[in-house]
């Protein structure tokens, strides 16, 4: 049993419950234990446009809290993961910033004392747990399910701060999906953005990005659209209807979290994976030849 501190981030904790539910369901099956820790706050990423110093501080304080547990930090939300990665890079390379932030952290009785090992859902599954282990747990193979993967911008870029997957040709999710007997296929729009980051100030444009990508996925006949980011999922799944209205298209794309799909393949009950919380037509997804 490998243990990690769990950092869910704001969107998962306050709204995207299906992601948290499916994570908590499948992790024990792959021998991962999660430690819930008190005291976390927002990672600060949504505030980067307002005041980047605040973003750095917020990320640093969460890292300092996690550090106390002496475990690796599991951050399934790619936006939080990037914010933490960038914060660590700056804290390691810039002594002036580090001292300044630590000065502020001491007001909360916290200190940043060096890097925490950050892990996202994809590298946890692909690099740490391994495909063999995942394969052994499959009870209901996703027989040739044609899957469109969506990694999300913050998971794959910018590669210079170190991301868990390749920025131009990410394939780790595909490898995991193939272990579940699914058929993931590349598509031209694979690396396109969901628009979530401007949802706060330009909602119509954000929904247009979402709608445009879903239209492309739908036109290419995919059975299911898989994502790993609560911000992206919120756009593609929760706001799919609105997105369709915005781009004047009838969207009917099943959107699931990777962890939900894994859960289904492992034979876990739909309800426990939060499948009823998905607003996209996920009932269309046929699992295990049913």
Partner 1 sequence: MSIIDLTSMGESQTEIKKEINERLSKLQGEISDYCFQCAKCTSGCEAHKLLELEPHKIVALLKRGLIDEMVNSDVIWTCMSCFKCRERCPQKVAPVEILFALKNMAVASGKQIPGKYTAMLQSILSIGLIQDVQTVTTRDNKMKKREELGLPAVSKPIDAAKFQTVLSKLAVEKI
Partner 2 sequence: MSDKIGVFVCHCGINIASVVDVKRLAKYASNLDNVVVSKDYKYMCSDTGAKLIKESIKKHKLDGVVIACCSPRMHEHTFRGVVETGGVNAFNLEIANVREQCSWAHDDKERATQKAEALVRGAVAKARLLEPLERSKISVNPNALVVGGGISGIQASLDLADKGFKVYLVEKTPSIGGRMAQLDKTFPTLDCSACILTPKMMEVANHQNIELLTYSEIESVEGNIGNYTVKVKNKPRYVDMDKCTGCGDCVGACRMKDRISSEFDMGMGKRSAIYIPFPQAIPLKCTIDSENCLMITRGKCGKGPLCVEVCEADAIDFKQKEEIVELDVGSIIVATGYDLLDPASVYEYGYSRYDNVITTLEMERLISSSGPTVGDIVCPSNGENPKSITFVLCVGSRDETSCTWCCRIGCMSALKQVYLIKEKLGDDVEINVCYTDIRSFGKGYEEFYRKIRGQNTNFFRGKPSDVRKAEDHLKMDVFDTMTSKLFEINTDMVVLVPELVPRSDADDFTRVLHLSQSADGFYLEAHPKLRPMDTFTDGVFLAGCCQGPKDIQDSVSQASGAASRAANILSKKELEAEPQVACVDEDVCSGCGLCVSVCAYNAIELVEDDGRSHAKVTEALCKGCGACVGACPSGAMQQRGFKDKQILPMIRETV
- Which residues on neighbouring strands pair with residue 201, listed in sequence order? none
Binding partner of 270, given partner 2, partner 1, none, CB within 5-8 angstroms per partner class:
none
Binding partner of 97, given partner 1, partner 2, none, CB within 5-8 angstroms per partner class:
partner 1
Least distance to partner 1, CB of residue 119, Å: 18
What are the structure tokens assigned to 186, written together? 């590349």
- Determine, following the binding rule CB under 8 A, whether residue 290 of this chain makes contact with partner 1: no
Distance CA 257, CA 58 (A): 27
Among the listed ranges 3-11, 123-131, 221-229, 256-264, the one in contact with partner 1 (CB under 8 A) is 3-11
Buried/exposed code over 52-75 (b: 16+ C-beta within 10 A; e: otherwise): eeebbbbbbbbbbbbbeeebbbbb
DSSP output for 246-288: HTT------EEEHHHHHHHHTT--TGGGTGGG--S-GGG---T
The length of the chain, given as a count of residues: 290
Among the listed ranges 183-191, 230-238, 268-276, 282-290, the one in contact with partner 2 (CB under 8 A) is 183-191
- The single residue among 28, 31, 33, 49 that binds partner 1, judged by CB under 8 A, is 49
Nearest CB to partner 1, comparing residues 51 and 117: 51
- Which residues on neighbouring strands pair with residue 148, listed in sequence order? 225
- Determine, following the binding rule CB under 8 A, whether residue 248 of this chain makes contact with partner 2: no
- Determine, following the binding rule CB under 8 A, whether residue 202 of this chain makes contact with partner 1: yes
Q: How many CB atoms lie within 10 A of CB 260?
A: 29
Site for partner 1, rule CB under 8 A: 8, 10-11, 13-15, 17, 20-21, 24, 36-42, 46-54, 56-58, 90, 93-94, 96-97, 104, 107-109, 153-154, 157-160, 167, 192-193, 195, 197-198, 200-203, 205, 208-209, 274, 276-279, 282
């Amino acid at each position: 049993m490998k243990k990690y501190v769990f950092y869910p981030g704001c969107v998962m904790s306050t709204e995207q419950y299906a992601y948290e539910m499916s994570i908590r369901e499948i992790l024990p099956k792959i021998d991962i234990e999660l430690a819930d820790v008190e005291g976390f706050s927002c990672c600060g990423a949504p505030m980067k446009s307002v005041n980047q110093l605040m973003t750095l501080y917020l990320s640093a304080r969460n890292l300092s809290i996690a550090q106390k547990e002496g475990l690796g930090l599991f951050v399934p939300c790619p936006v939080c993961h990037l914010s933490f990665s960038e914060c660590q890079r700056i804290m390691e390379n810039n002594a002036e910033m580090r001292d300044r932030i630590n000065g502020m952290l001491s007001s909360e009785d916290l200190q940043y004392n060096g890097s925490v090992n950050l892990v996202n859902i994809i590298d946890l599954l692909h690099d740490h747990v391994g495909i063999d282990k995942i394969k052994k747990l499959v009870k209901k193979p996703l027989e040739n399910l044609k899957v469109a993967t969506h990694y999300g911008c913050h998971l794959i870029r910018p590669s210079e701060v170190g991301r868990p997957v390749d920025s131009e040709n990410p394939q780790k999710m595909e490898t995991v999906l193939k272990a579940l007997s699914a058929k993931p296929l590349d598509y031209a729009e694979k690396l396109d953005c969901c628009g979530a980051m401007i949802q706060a100030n330009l909602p119509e444009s954000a929904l247009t990005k979402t709608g445009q990508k879903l239209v492309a996925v739908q036109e290419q006949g995919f059975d299911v659209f898989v994502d790993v980011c609560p911000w992206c999922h919120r756009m593609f799944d929760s706001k799919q209807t609105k997105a369709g209205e915005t781009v004047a298209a009838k969207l009917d794309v099943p959107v699931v979290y990777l962890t939900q799909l894994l859960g289904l393949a492992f034979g876990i009950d739909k309800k426990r994976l939060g499948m009823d919380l998905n607003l996209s037509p996920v009932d269309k997804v046929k699992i295990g030849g049913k």
